[in-house]
Amino acid sequence: MLALQGENALKIEMLAKKIGISKSSFYHHFADMQLFVEALLNYHLEQSKVIAEKERLAQTIQPELIEILVEHKIDLLFNRQLRFNQQKNEFRETLEKSNQIIGNEFVRIWATDLQLNLSVKQLESIFELALENFFLQINPENITFEWISNYFENLKRIAKNFE
């Protein structure tokens, strides 16, 4: 619900109803909303490790990396919400940790696939801008193989201009 609807969706009554339990059952598992949010953020970091491992095994952006991104659509949308809510320390810290877990493998595949004659620092800078732009554009409807493929093709054209 957080990934799809944002932080405003984190209401105990709505969450309990969505998963088919009573509010008291929710409180039985999580004493308060803060503990639930902490569990969500920790789960996201675990998912980041899963994604990073899959990326480590991938050799190309298309089809391998794009398939991983489509498979982890909810995780991408969750990461987007972390970006939108960085004013909260726990969201910002989780985003930073997630980026450290995932970012290195992504840049490695991207640099190899693009075959550009740019320094690592230049590639990382372009990647950082592209990543912010990517998360601004994604939504539940467009995280598809076709959309992400087109996004990376456009990014590739832009990056080649820096050579």
Number of domains observed in the structure of the chain: 1
Q: Is residue 6 part of a domain?
A: no
- The CA–CA distances, whole Å, from 59 to 3, 21, 123, 132 equal 28, 43, 17, 23
Q: Within a domain: residue 7? A: no
- Asked whether residue 93 is assigned to any structural domain, the reply reads yes
- The contacts of residue 31 (CB under 8 Å, 6+ apart) are none
Residue 86 lies in a domain: yes
Is residue 2 assigned to a domain? no
Averaged pLDDT in 10-residue chunks for the chain of 163 residues: 89 86 86 90 97 92 94 97 95 95 78 77 82 93 96 86 75
Q: 28 in a domain, yes or no? A: no
Note down the domain range covering 119: 33-162
Q: For residues 54 and 152, what is the distance between their CA atoms, to the nearest angstrom?
A: 18
Tell whether 62 is covered by a domain: yes
Residue 65 buriedness (CB in 10 A; 0-12 / 13-18 / 19+): buried
pLDDT of residue 105: 73
- Tens-digit pLDDT profile for residues 48-80: 999 999 999 998 889 999 999 999 999 999 999
Q: Is residue 8 part of a domain?
A: no
The predicted structure's pLDDT at residue 16: 84
Beta strands in 15-158 (DSSP E): none
Q: Give pLDDT, residue 150.
A: 95
Asked if 85 and 79 touch (Cβ cutoff 8 Å), the reply is: no
